[in-house]
Amino acid sequence: MATFTLPSLVILLSFLSVANSGSIGINYGRIANDLPSPAKVVQLLKTQGVNRVKLYDSDSNVLTSLSGSNISVTVALPNEQLFQAASKQSFTDSWVQSNILPYYPKTLIEFIAVGNEVFVDPKNTTPFLVPAMKNVYSSLVKYGVASSIKVSSPVALSALENSYPSSSGSFKPDLIEPVIKPMLSFLKQTGSPLMVNIYPFFAYIANTDTISLDYALFRDNKGQTDPNNGLVYKSLFEAQIDAVYAAMKALNFDDVATAISETGWPSKGDENEVGASAVNAAAYNGNLVRRVLTGSGTPLKPNEPLNVYLFALFNENQKPGPTSERNYGLFYPNEVKVYDIPLTREGLESGPTVNNGSKSVVVTAPTSSPLPAPVNGGGNVEASKVVNTWCVANEKAPREKLQAALDYACGEGGADCRPIQSGATCYDPDTLEAHASYAFNSYYQKKARGNGTCDFNRAAYVVTQHPKYGSCKFPTGY
């Protein structure tokens, strides 16, 4: 994923194609010591509506587990094997014989990713990339499977010299003749897409003074106008894709398709990783899914569907680098969701919108502490005609604590948070305290007002008067 990490095994979840729209996948990294078995992972993917996966290697246990699953697979030849693959056709012949033919077609292998972000590989494997791709393809031809298995290579966005404005997108000059042109020519000849890894998160944290969080998270914003062609961009993601398209067009390869092989947003980060949070991750990925599955292409190529792979399936506890690197997962290793977003068109139609990101359903472990004594809620209540109790947010609690408690209540806690989604009956007033109070009370009432169920690590307390925020009245029980 990020350019400074080691390659990881990645599975891409469900290219969910619909007419005139794109497809969504999810990467499954395995740099961890606490992940479920491949067989369990395949079952998890199937429960999420999977029909396509991608691996960063060709692990036999994973390929065997995928056999007969009707899940299409992309396997990979890792960077450390590029030199051998480029040097000898006999090596790629043997590699295909060992890693493709024993599993295909029961395991529906459709792509081979040759290397990963090779241009930033510290071992300088760039010169071997295109020869390796050609040899892999020749081996596929030799064994009669080249018509059904395509060859590509994921490229980091850092391959661009310029990415802003999008119309000025260009590749780094030192890469163009040695590798970019030969690779694009190969992809054009074989009908394969250019795989690109795009992370608006990195651009955002490096430019928080000029890039708005709403623009990075697909939220409502005024957009950015490209001064060269007048196209208006409502998301940084689309602007970055069009920078790649512009760079390809500058080399006369604008007829090569693209696939976004990695993109995502971390649910946790270090202090200097501004914006790394579960709420923002849910907003980015949830809004991206909606954009891809219900929209068209980019402003520059509106008729080209977006094929996107989210990173990642699991949090990976052994990844090097900053905290964010270990927190891109949609799931914890125990298969519990870090946050809940729809991944299919059906899920989009039945689930709530996540456009503003503040009511994302996020799972996080609660912290238990004694129930504080019941306290009257002050001025923001109305008299109740029934003796009862309700749970409201502690206005003196830090915002971070309130948000974490809200995330838990709406996630693992099982509170009914639909009324505080955008456009719903209790969305207004759109404040953290109001939304948290509604979620806390929903949880509290569902738990039959049991002892300790209105605490949330002292982010909430019990009141004996019926809370009221705007026109929203809180339920008394379920």
Which residues have a catalytic role annotated? 117, 262
CA-based nearest residue to 215, from 194, 231, 196, 238:
238
Q: Which amino acid is at 37?
A: S
C-beta of residue 459 within 8 angstroms of C-beta of residue 402: yes
Q: Which amino acid is at 28?
A: Y
Which three-class secondary structure string do you get for the chain? CCCCCCCCCCCCCCCCCCCCCCEEEEECCCCCCCCCCHHHHHHHHHHCCCCEEECCCCCHHHHHHHCCCCCEEEEEECHHHHHHHHHCHHHHHHHHHHHCCCCCCCCEEEEEEECCCHHHCCCCCHHHHHHHHHHHHHHHHHCCCCCCCEEECEEEHHHEEECCCHHHCEECHHHHHHHHHHHHHHHHHHCCCEEEECCHHHHHHHCCCCCCHHHHCCCCCCCEECCCCCCEECCHHHHHHHHHHHHHHHCCCCCCCEEEEEECCCCECCCCCCCCEHHHHHHHHHHHHHHHHHCCCCCCCCCCCCEEEEECCECCCCCCCCHHHHCCCCECCCCCECEECCCCHHHHHHCCCCCCCCCCEECCCCCCCCCCCCCCCCCCEECCCCCCCEEEECCCCCHHHHHHHHHHHHCCCCCCCHHHCCCCCCCCCCCHHHHHHHHHHHHHHHCCCCCCCCCCCCCEEEECCEEEECCEECCCCC
Tokens describing residue 288? 């991206």
